[in-house]
Amino acid sequence: MQKTELEPIEYETVTLKIPKKVMKLLRDTDYLGETAEKYLEREIVDVVRADIEGGECFTPTPSQLVKQYDLNPVFKEILDMTVR
């Protein structure tokens, strides 16, 4: 099976308030070789994906949400998984 080229993901910059001690821990430790920013990005995207798959947090069905917002390419690139 041939692998298809994914479209680049568009990003939006947001400001989050994270406790300084948590950020220090993330910057001082090497979690899977990720930067603190990459770790937070992956974790936030993964929580959104899990909430969609759980189906309890959003009114539309999980598949409707994923299709409407074209989220599978994001989940695939950042988490190496998709939502059905």
Write down the pLDDT at residue 39.
Answer: 93
Number of domains making up the chain? 1
For the chain, which residues score pLDDT lower than 50?
none
Query: Domain range for residue 27?
Result: 20-79
Residue 54: count of CB within 10 angstroms of its CB: 10
Write down the pLDDT at residue 2.
Answer: 58
Is there a domain that residue 9 lies in? no
Residue type, 82: T
Write down the pLDDT at residue 40.
Answer: 94
Is there a domain that residue 8 lies in? no
Q: pTM of the predicted model, to two decimals? A: 0.72
Is there a domain that residue 30 lies in? yes
CB 7 within 8 A of CB 72: no
